Amino acid sequence: MRRALAVGAVLLAVSVASGLGWLAARNIRSPAQVALEAEPPAPSLITVEVERTELVADVITRADIGYDDPVSLRLDGALGGRPSTLIVTSARERGDELVEGAVAVEISGRPVFLLRGGIPVYRDLLPQAEGPDVRQVEEALVRLGYFAEEPDEVWTPATERAVEAWYTAAGYEANGISDEDLHRLETAAETVESAEDDVKAAQDRLEAAEARLTAAVRQEDIARYDLSQARATLAEAREGPDELVIGRARSAQASAEEQLAFAQADAERRLAGAERAIIDVEAQRERAAVDYAVAEIRWDSARLGVHPDTGAPPTGNQLENLRQAVDTALSALEDAERGIEEAYEDLDRRAVENAAAMRSAADGLAEARSALDDLLAPPDVAAEARAVENASAVLDDARSAIEDARSAIEDARAGIEEAEMDVVEARDALVDLENRTGVWIPGGELVFLERLPVRVDQVTAETGSSVTASFMTVSGSELATRGSVLDTDVALVKEGGEALIEDSLLAAPLRGEIRQVADRPGTNGVASNRYYIEIVAEGIPDELVGANVKVVIPVGGTAGEVLAVPAAALSATADGSSRIEVREPDGTTRFVRVEPGLSADGLVEITPLDGEVAEGDLVVIGVASGDR
């Protein structure tokens, strides 16, 4: 963290130094400028002493302390039981904190609950209600721990059970459902589910029977064809092969031998081509690696302050061009790497394909040889006779399976019709029961607020009074300090970081924590170049509510005193490191390479890397020219 703050501070210091250089432009010139100008008077060095001091960097702004905006609460509908007179039977007191699920007020014995949500109450929520307001209630019940399912926009029995548990925990009776009604609903739902399962099971049986019938018919066709073929084969086997068949077998064997030889030659050719491709892409990768290394060396040189072509410090466009050259070279190298992978994959694929082709050719030759041997052997018809017997048995089995499948299809269709009638009856019974029973919430027993908890600011309907309009005014329950920081400082301000609140009414600064930093400028009513921040702190006195206070956000500091010089004393070397120029008592100067650290108030922390620097040494910050 300290290193990141130091780097950021150095960049800020360099910007400040640039501004100081502009202000002194008429009197201060760099040595290079002096050398280009006219003859003497000779220039003189401008020096300052090296300091030993403690550096501290802060972001300072102003902010307002206050609660959230007040909101008036009122009934948004009737209460459970529909009381004719609305009398407050239990009220809150000013200053009470109300969390989500709390009872804001009790009217005629019925609770008015507070929930978080953006949709106002506009109706009673009854069983089977649908809409985004139902989802809003279910989401609140999830947060309160009463609803374990995924919130949706339908008021289901699960919603009713959660509402009933919520009311019971608050000490009230939910509206509209009894244990007996709940049991009947659960039983009816189970009956529907069971009937639907029966339909599904009957449909599965029908599909299985139809599949068996299709398979049996196909098997019958195959068996009939196989029997015909077996009988023909038996007849041919008894006659034995003629010379034409034997000649064809010999030709088939010769052809298979040629195919095997061709497959071997083709395999060697394909593998040689794949290996040449690997050599080519590996050469391409080597060229891409060299290009990438050269691009990186050129980019590193530019980042260190020396353009590889001109030797001068690079411009922003030149830096970007060199960086893009690195990206282009890296992309080419990655393409070459992928090309190598693809070439080796192609080699492997060709090896597999060649092996398969060789096996296929060898298998074809073996089959051709076996076929010729069988033709030349004395005819043996025992196998053909058994094949005829087996084909006849398979045909009989297929015909029997067809009959069984057709009978199963008829039974399954009858079962589906019966189960579907049961489903219709069960669903009608469930819908009728759901329409007549269920837990519901009257519109008057809910109040939705976009933010909770809240704090009771004013009670407009006390215990024993009647309710005609608003019964309470609430605001955010937590004090917060709200302000903003400039877009140039927002990178230094982090959520969870420390902030100090200062005011003349405070004996000492009050420590707080940054709770929120806006993700973009111009939000929450701040200027377009500022980021909204919010700070919370304990112990804010009541007299500061509504006050505008000073906020100090520490963003870094050195651990004790360190050597420090003005930012203008730092210069960059060709390798990108930093150095200072120290003037000796005899007027000569020497350069000392240093590591810059934290920057604050125009000074930069330095650590000598080679050479010595001590407090009081004179460092050069510029050159003053004489009058011409």
Closest of 400, 401, 396 to residue 209, by C-alpha: 401
Instruction: Note whether 491 and 579 are same-domain residues.
Output: no
Q: Per the domain annotation, does 339 fall within a domain?
A: yes
With beta carbons less than 8 A apart as the criterion, state whether 574 and 306 touch.
yes
Considering 425, 450, 475, which residue would you say is the last residue of a domain? 475
Q: Which residues contact 126 (CB under 8 A, 6 or more apart)?
A: 155, 438, 440
Rounded to 5 degrees, φ, ψ at 100 are -65, 135
Q: Indicate whether 2 pLDDT > 80.
A: no
Q: Looking at the structure, do residues 465 and 514 belong to the same domain, yes or no?
A: no
Q: Are 57 and 600 in contact (CB under 8 A)?
A: yes
- Examine residue 384 and state whether it is found in any structural domain, yes or no: no
CA distances from 83 to 136, 160, 333, 447, 559 (A): 26, 23, 80, 18, 71
Looking at the fold, whether 565 and 552 belong to one and the same domain comes out as no
Alpha carbon 338 to chain centroid distance?
28
Is residue 615 within 8 Å of 50, Cβ to Cβ?
A: yes
Q: What is the pLDDT of residue 199?
A: 87
Asked if residue 551 has pLDDT above 90, the reply is: yes
User: Considering the chain, what is the average pLDDT of its residues?
Assistant: 84
464 located within any domain: yes
pLDDT for 615 equals 94
Residues with Cβ < 8 Å from 433, sequence gap 6 or more?
Answer: 181, 184, 185, 188
pLDDT of residue 477: 64
Considering the domain architecture, whether residues 594 and 612 belong to the same structural domain is answered as: yes
- The answer, yes or no, to whether residue 315 has pLDDT greater than 80, is yes
Residue 403 within a domain? no
The DSSP line for 595-620 is: EEEEEETTEEEEEEEES---TT-EEE
466 and 484 part of one domain? no
Average pLDDT estimate for 188-210: 88
Q: Which amino acid is at 29?
A: R
The CATH code of the domain that includes 259 is 1.10.287.620
pLDDT, mean of residues 85-99: 90
Q: Is the pLDDT of residue 21 over 60?
A: no
Domain final position from 376, 396, 431: 376
Average pLDDT for 403-412: 89
Higher pLDDT, 214 or 37: 214
Question: Are 270 and 305 in a shared domain?
Answer: yes
Are 484 and 471 contained in the same domain?
no
What digits encode the pLDDT tens for the residues 511-527? 999 999 999 999 988 99
Is residue 533 within 8 Å of 484, Cβ to Cβ?
yes
- Residue 553, C-beta contacts closer than 8 angstroms, at least 6 positions apart: 58, 59, 60, 61, 485, 492, 493, 497, 498, 499, 500, 514
Which residue range(s) make up the domain with 619?
A: 2-55+560-624
What does the block give as tokens for 522? Answer: 């111009």
- For residues 445 and 110, is the Cβ–Cβ distance under 8 A? yes
User: In the listed set 376, 397, 419, which residue is the last one of a domain according to the structure?
Assistant: 376
- Of 443, 440, 442, nearest to 76 by C-alpha is 443
- At 178, the pLDDT band (50, 70, 90 cuts) reads low
Q: What is the pLDDT of residues 203-254, one digit of tens each?
A: 898 889 889 889 889 888 988 898 888 888 878 777 767 778 778 888 888 8
What's the pLDDT at 16?
38
Given this model, what pLDDT does residue 148 score? 94
Residues 484 and 598 in one domain: no
pLDDT-wise least confident of 156-165, 183-192, 230-239, 533-542:
230-239
Residue 550 has pLDDT above 90, yes or no: yes
Residue 29 has pLDDT above 60, yes or no: no
Answer yes or no: do 269 and 348 share one domain.
Answer: yes
In a domain, 526, yes or no: yes
Pick the range with the lowest mean pLDDT from 186-195, 231-240, 576-585.
Answer: 231-240
343 vs 493, more confident:
493
Question: How many DSSP H helices and E strands does the chain contain?
Answer: 8, 23
Highest-pLDDT range among 141-150, 209-218, 466-475, 532-541: 141-150
Residue 587 falls inside a structural domain: yes
Check whether 489 has a pLDDT greater than 60: yes
Q: Which residues, at least 6 apart from 261, have a Cβ–Cβ distance to it below 8 Å?
A: none
| Poorest-pLDDT segment among 234-238, 454-458, 580-584 | 234-238
pLDDT of 350: 80
Most confident of 190-204, 339-353, 365-379: 190-204
Cβ atoms < 10 Å from Cβ of 206: 19
Assign residue 32 the CATH number of its domain: 2.40.420.20
Angle separating helix axes 316-376 and 243-303, nearest 10 degrees: 170
Residue 30 CA to residue 571 CA, distance in Å, equals 11
Q: Is residue 270 part of a domain?
A: yes
Q: Is the pLDDT of residue 70 over 80?
A: no
Kindly list the distances between the CA atom of residue 204 and the CA atoms of 197, 200, 211, 217, 626, in Å, as whole numbers in the listed order: 10, 6, 10, 20, 105
* Percentage with pLDDT > 90 across the chain: 32
CA angle 274, 275, 281 (to 5 degrees): 90
Q: What sign does the dihedral 229-235-236-240 (CA atoms) show?
A: positive
Number of domains the chain contains: 4
Q: Based on the fold, state whether residues 552 and 569 are members of the same structural domain.
A: no
Give the per-residue pLDDT at 41.
57
CA distances from 493 to 371, 414, 427, 485, 609 (A): 87, 75, 61, 8, 32
Q: Are residues 615 and 569 in the same domain?
A: yes
Mark whether 271 and 339 lie in a shared domain. Answer: yes
Q: Which two tokens stand for residue 79?
A: 């209460």
Q: Which of 126-135, 449-458, 607-616 has the lowest mean pLDDT?
A: 449-458
pLDDT band at residue 61 using 50, 70 and 90 as cut-offs: very high
pLDDT tens, position by position, 250-303: 888 888 888 888 888 888 888 888 888 889 888 888 998 898 899 899 989 988
* Residue 198 located in a structural domain: no
CATH classification of the domain holding 493: 2.40.30.170
pLDDT at residue 628 greater than cutoff 60: no
pLDDT at 380 over 50: yes
Is the pTM higher than 0.85? The answer reads no
Confidence of residue 435 (pLDDT cuts 50, 70, 90): low
CATH number, residue 79? 2.40.50.100
